[in-house]
Amino acid sequence: MKILFLSLLLLTACAKRNPGQSETPAGDAVTIVGKAQVWVTTGNQSKLLQQLDDLDLTTGAPAQQKLISIDVAKPLQEIEGFGAALTGSSAYVIHQLKEPQRSRLLQELFDPQQGIGISYLRLTMGASDFSLTDFTYDDMPAGQTDPNLTHFSIAQDKQHVLPVLQAIKAISPGLKIMSTPWSPPAWMKDNGQLAGGRLKPEWYNAYAAYFVKYLQAFQQEGIVIHAVTPQNEPLHEAKYPSMHMDAGAQATFIRDHLGPAFKKYNIHTGIIIYDHNWDAPQYPISILNDTAARQYVTGAAFHAYAGQVSAMTQVHARHPDKGLYFTEISGGAWAPQFSDNLEWNMSNVFIGTMNNWSRTALLWNLALDNNYGPRNGGCQDCRGVVTIAADGSITRNVEYYALGHMARFIRPGAVRLTITGSNTAGLESVAFLNKDGARVLVVLNSGGNAQTFTVADKDRQYNCSLEGNAVATIVWK
């Protein structure tokens, strides 16, 4: 029994010594100089963002395992935050919760001390495929137009989105927000519908004014929007609110209309281009090649429904002065295995996007009901970060834990650090330096067996053994 107990100890998710490692020879001057804290989630769900025993941070011992070396002197991109989309559907299901349950859930989602510390949200400007109904902020009867936007109103968002958003801001005042339209008002489009079609050139100025009015209206409600994208998934026309906007049209809209409108009204909200899949990096590159348009552009945003995460580095290589943002991916009933989803999300969305220069990693719906809704067309079985059932019970999905491994520990203003050995022997990792001096390392072991490795930070190091099919977040100063 004693032997079995010791064996189990050695196979815990992070251990202080390699099970096969001998004691340090007496002649080596090993000094414990601190502790590293560890949180682990395993694919078999035996540990879910579980804090384990601290690791010894030592000096004086040579590395005896696979080495991950962190260089604090070589910072890379600044991180703006991690989170998801507060769609109309997400706001609705959260708003339906009775107090104090609603407040407890928001505290858990947005407070880094009491929860997972979400620090960035994406909003839909008007309806998306996850709204209660089709709408924009200036809908008109068929055949009528509103060139001066006299009928502009955010009343629809005051029902659920703004009350939930204001409650979130009370918990997390520094929260950053990005807003994205799925469609302009139908009267601005060549097909006269919210679904599909294109923005008519004669309404480019009016649509730029529409953005200005939206930002001003939210400002009046105490909500600052940090960035907008001109169009969600501009290469995808669907049967729900959507619009085709090729790269040339987007460049023209930004260069000649949206950018100048922001300048005229002294609006400092960032403009982030593209906002679509990894499979078309030439789209943002072509806009950034336009010297007149790029002056108004903060960066480019990506989704993960097609292509490879390395496309983000392709854009960075061509335009390293512009930010990159990962803004959407959804889990769903088509991928029910916790372990597979944990590995894919960590490898591609969280570790992958960060190692390819992203400043954010955002998932799709923050919350949905247990029927994958409410839906407004589009995905029939998408999964929220959390699921809220009709009886008010809450399920924390795999996305919750993957997101928590980043958002809780890597705070806005952190910088990614240069590391070596980050993809050694099945281990994928990314490291950060928070503004308070804390180092954060996120490690995925995608193999079936435990992996033991040493992490070196200048003359300090610690040893960690990570279970197979598991992710660890390690924090030290």
Q: Looking at the annotation, which residues are catalytic?
A: 233, 328
How many angstroms separate the CA atoms of 402 and 409, rounded?
Answer: 12
Contact indicator for 367, 403 with CB cutoff of 8 Å: no
How far apart are the C-alpha atoms of 217 and 402, rounded to whole Å? Answer: 34
The torsion angles phi and psi of 199, rounded to 5 degrees, stand at: -75, 125
Q: Which residues lie across from 388 on neighbouring strands? A: 369, 394
Question: Which of 446, 445, 386, 455 shows the shortest CA–CA distance to 421?
Answer: 455
How many Cα atoms are found within 13 Å in the side-chain-facing hemisphere of 27?
Answer: 0
Is the Cα dihedral 390, 391, 392, 397 positive or negative?
negative
Q: Max alpha carbon distance in the chain (Å)?
A: 87
Count of residues for the chain?
477
Task: Determine whether 1 is exposed, middle or buried from the number of CB atoms within 10 Å of its CB (0-12, 13-18, 19+).
Answer: exposed
Residue 176's nearest CA partner among 51, 80, 64 is 80
Whole-Å CA distances, 154 to 245, 429, 441: 24, 43, 42
User: Which residues, other chains included, contact 340 with Cβ-Cβ below 8 Å and sequence gap of 6+?
Assistant: 43
CA 108/CA 116 separation, integer angstroms: 6
Distance separating alpha carbons of residues 85 and 91, to the nearest angstrom: 10
